[in-house]
Structure 1
Amino acid sequence: MPNTLNPLELIARRWQPSARFVRRAALATVVMAVIIVVTGGAVRLTQSGLGCSTWPKCTPDSLTPTAAMGINGYIEFGNRMLTYVLCAVVGLFIIAARARHPRRRALTRLGWAQFWVVMGNAVWGGIVVLTGLNPYLVAAHFLLSTALLTVAVLTWQRAAEGDEEPRDLVARPVRQLAWLLVAATGALTVIGTVVTGTGPHAGDAKKVHRIPLDWQEITQLHVDFVYIVVGLSVALWFTLRAVKAPAAPRRRVLELFACIAAQGVIGYVQYFMGLPELVIGLHMLGSALVWICVLRAALALRDRGPLPEEDAVVPAPSDGHEAPGPQVAAASSR
């Protein structure tokens, strides 16, 4: 009895995507993760968090929003539908990574990790709705989105490099400084969710429970961590110059400087203008971009060699005849 192949194996026998296609598919997952962060913020800022009153349906009697629910229902439901788009993009990456020769199990594992984070966050979002936008659960919902973005950035990085053992490009203290910067930026993000949980934009026009902390004090703590992140970024830049690090890591830190500068301007504008919704949305976008730049700066401090050459690809047998000899695919782009 012939062996039964799973669908991914069947696709891999008939389609060999290029290394560039896999990298672009990985980048698409990063873009979609950022979009999910921004649109989730739009749901809260337009007071549409309970636009759909229940989950997984939109109302107890309808899967989709009704005209009586107004624009808020459509905004909330539209954000739910984006989850399916995100799943499709992640699925495309998983298929492309699996079909790529030689097979790189690390990439497919990262793709599946993204898929399960998406599924978990979708369920968590439903719990947020069912609990009436509990601020602690809302904060965790955002942090799960940040976790998805983290895995997506790591996937994008791994799709552009080889599978050799990591080789450090700088001394250990420099790498420790970079990961300290990552930790400080992570703490900044967590504190930002607390600021949101104490602030005026609760996500719904009705009275919603808020975190019982002083908003201005938490905001000041958030600003203090901004200064810490800026200071560590400057220290990393001068350290990389002092040790004559390769150009790529220094370029990543310059990209981080640009994102931090833009994010700082947006942050002060939103504070002094009384937290306008549009500016807060831009601040959430900036938060995602800063996190991406921080991760890329840290990951640029090691090298895993070039992308592996493509294996010989043997077409699947058809019509009961013996398969022709192996065909050597073009070498992958570097």
Structure 2
Amino acid sequence: MPKTLNPFVLVAERWQPSRKLVERAALATVVMAVIIVVTGGVVRLTQSGLGCSTWPTCTPESLTPTPAMGINGAIEFTNRMLTYVLCAIVGLAIVAARSRDPWRRELTRLGWAQFWIVMGNAVLGGIVVLTGLNPYVVGSHFLLSSALLTVSVVMWQRTREGDGPVRELTARPVRQLSWVLAAASGALIVVGTVVTGAGPHAGDARHVHRIPVNWREITQLHVDLVYIVVGLTVALWFVLRAVSAPAPARRRVVELFAVLMAQGVIGYVQYFTGLPSVVVGVHMLGSALVWIAVLRVPLALRERPEAPAGTELPAQESAVPAGVR
């Protein structure tokens, strides 16, 4: 039977990236996921959400923005073009992971998961435009970006680990507390998304439908969740200290606490200064950094050493068709 001309296999036969390169490629996907969150915020905060009037083209007559559309069209179109940059970086991470010897299929699966999330979010972004910035669709668009950030962080973490059996570094109740912290942080992000959907920054200067709730009351709920997350973070630090958990795990919790404090200051500044666009944009960057810091906490409570020499890695079916593995 003739050998399948799989382009990924052909590249792997000719290129053997270092482990450090694979790790850096995975880190690049994390950075790009954060950039996408921030640039999406810039589109909304500059009222450029409908800078391009349709999708997938910018106008019914033009693929790109016209001079008459001004800066809003340029901002919206630039944000669309960043999707191609993101795809290129995710593609590099996939190819690097596939070409690394030995091949770790879990890494390529995580890379392909990012690719399909990007594709899904690109379509959802088009629906955002076609529905005139429907706040529920806009919120879903942001949450899917958070899902992309989650997968990219997990892939980055796995590039720095081996494929040996998982070894837990703390007792089960401690790990459960870390997952409660992650769940509370997820709820915080979801409620923050509702605040955005109900708040004054609609994404366009024209009338845009908003979520029909009092955004100030939802903001108070958001603040209450912040206190819960901070409280859980402090509690987890004391627990880790009490059980003499490894220093890296305690350090991750301290890093999370520092990011939460900075984000809290930014949040209060934006609230008491009338939600200036620049400060709101910094707050969106902070939300991405908080989520990264949260994810790193439970990931620091376990380790995966290198598989023993001569150990055959368990077979894993790839999540992509055979022709593109």
Task: Give TM-score, length-normalised by structure 2.
Answer: 0.94
Q: Does the 8 Å CA contact 1:49/1:76 hold for their aligned counterparts?
A: yes
Q: Does the 8 Å CA contact 1:161/1:305 hold for their aligned counterparts?
A: yes
Equivalent in the alignment of 1:235: 235
Tell me, yes or no, if structure 1 residue 63 matches structure 2 residue 63. Answer: yes
Amino acid at match of 2:35: I
Q: Gaps spanning 5+ residues in structure 1: where?
A: 312-334
C-alpha separation between the residues in 2 aligned to 1:135 and 1:228? 26
Superposed displacement of residue 307, structure 1: 7.2
Matches within 5 A, 1:43-62: 43-62=43-62
Q: Does the 8 Å CA contact 2:164/2:308 hold for their aligned counterparts?
A: no
Equivalent in the alignment of 1:325: none
How many percent of aligned residue pairs carry the same amino acid?
76
Amino acid at match of 2:144: L
Superposed displacement of residue 273, structure 1: 0.5
Equivalent in the alignment of 1:216: 216
Q: 1:39 and 1:164, CA in 2 relative to 1: closer, same or farther beyond 3 A?
A: same
Equivalent in the alignment of 1:14: 14
Q: Does the 8 Å CA contact 1:101/1:310 hold for their aligned counterparts?
A: no
C-alpha separation between the residues in 2 aligned to 1:212 and 1:42? 23
Equivalent in the alignment of 2:3: 3
The alignment of Structure 1 onto Structure 2 pairs a total of residues equal to 311
Q: Gaps spanning 5+ residues in structure 2: where?
A: 312-325
C-alpha offsets along residues 160-200 of structure 1, whole Å, 9 cap, x if unaligned?
Answer: 00112211100000000000000000000000000001100
Equivalent in the alignment of 1:196: 196
Displaced runs of 4+ in structure 1, greater than 4 A? 307-311
Question: What's the secondary structure of 1:188's corresponding residue?
Answer: helix
Equivalent in the alignment of 1:24: 24
Question: What's the secondary structure of 2:184's corresponding residue?
Answer: helix
Superposed displacement of residue 310, structure 1: 11
C-alpha separation between the residues in 2 aligned to 1:63 and 1:134? 23
Amino acid at match of 1:138: V
Tell me, yes or no, if structure 1 residue 275 matches structure 2 residue 275. Answer: yes
Superposed displacement of residue 4, structure 1: 2.9
Matches within 5 A, 1:298-309: 298-306=298-306
Equivalent in the alignment of 1:172: 172
Q: Does the 8 Å CA contact 2:37/2:142 hold for their aligned counterparts?
A: yes
Q: Does the 8 Å CA contact 1:162/1:308 hold for their aligned counterparts?
A: no
Task: Give TM-score, length-normalised by structure 1.
Answer: 0.91
Q: Cα RMSD over matched residues?
A: 1.3
Q: Which structure has the bigger radius of gyration?
A: 1
Matches within 5 A, 1:99-248: 99-248=99-248
Q: 1:67 and 1:17, CA in 2 relative to 1: closer, same or farther beyond 3 A?
A: same
Equivalent in the alignment of 2:319: none
Equivalent in the alignment of 1:249: 249
C-alpha separation between the residues in 2 aligned to 1:3 and 1:135? 50
Amino acid at match of 1:98: R
C-alpha separation between the residues in 2 aligned to 1:3 and 1:133? 49
Equivalent in the alignment of 2:323: none
Of 297-306 and 95-104, deviating more is 297-306
